[in-house]
Amino acid sequence: MLVDDSAIVRGFMRRWIDEEPRIELVKVCSDGAQAVAEVANVRPDVIVLDIEMPNMDGLTALPQLRKLAPEARIVMASTLTSQGAQQTVKALSLGAADFIAKPQASAMGGVDGYRRDLVEKIIALGPRPAMRGAAAPSTVRLRQRPTQASKPAAMVIAASTGGPSALPVFLAAIANRIDAPILIVQHMPAAFTPVFAEKLESVIGKRCREAVDGDPVIPGQVLVAPGDFHMRVARAPSGRIVTLDRGEQVNFCRPAADPLFESAAAAFGNRLLGVVLTGMGHDGRAGAGRIVEAGGRVIVQDEASSVVWGMPGAVAQAGYAEAVKPLRELGQLALRMMNGEAA
């Protein structure tokens, strides 16, 4: 179901979806009120919901749509502005599964990327095969715990689709009980990451902010990679620091998890824990391999609790994960590992 007040946008999106054989468009609506009135009849698997609309905006319609169509995954269509970021982060906290940032009118080159992202998100959020058990233990080869596992000096986390909801759950109960630095890559545009970091701080009760180039990587901090920048860890005379760059996209992403994981593995060696949460694609898989090669440890979210089991599934199926756990259990396991306890 598409919900947008712009006839031009509806026309573009209708054409893109009609050209994609894996997607069936069941209803097009021009505002939230119409979507609320129609959703129970058409029973969509995925709803693309514009935020700013007359009569009833997306934020007002969201909780009603979730109540009337609890199985539907809702993707918020947002503007790349500060207000759009605030509204989108609020929508994610209210249960939206994901978001997509509309390209600015002046950046027509972004339309092709928007089309690709839209189609990929709709397909990824659509119906999935029946779960194979919470942790799908029979389909992955778990890595054995290192015989000489060291207490991690840092934790690196990767997340994408579903991450804005998963990260607060993962960190809320454990962040204040971990002294080591926590570095996070969440796939988000530049306007969104400062708002997300602020929201995350309010939930976990620990200082959390966007990273700044040259930040020292020290205990007690939680740093989020800024949108449109890769975040890496480097050695400096003063110790380990964060570096930011606008290098080529990795896995169609910037920030991407692989640059962080790979650089952190080089900087921390066997004293590193990598965590991969819900997300599309396979970003983090190569980096997880580097962590394992350096003697570090990797754990991932399970399929049943993930919005999309792309990133964690890719890491698990590559044989890099020691554990595949539901989100809350994963947090407690990470806490034990970070405190040096056997896991």
Catalytic residue numbers, as ranges = 160, 187, 283
**DSSP code of 216?**
B
Cβ atoms within 10 Å of 215's Cβ, excluding its own: 19
- How is the beta sheet containing 154-159 ordered, strand by strand? 208-210, 222-224, 182-186, 154-159, 272-276, 297-301, 323-325
Do residues 76 and 88 lie in contact, with contact meaning Cβ atoms separated by under 8 Å? yes
Q: How far apart are CA 43 and CA 131, in angstroms?
A: 21
Do residues 219 and 211 lie in contact, with contact meaning Cβ atoms separated by under 8 Å? no
Q: How far apart are CA 18 and CA 256, in angstroms?
A: 31
Q: How far apart are CA 110 and CA 106, in angstroms?
A: 9
In order, the DSSP letters of 246-274 are ----BTTBSS-HHHHHHHHHHHHTTSEEE
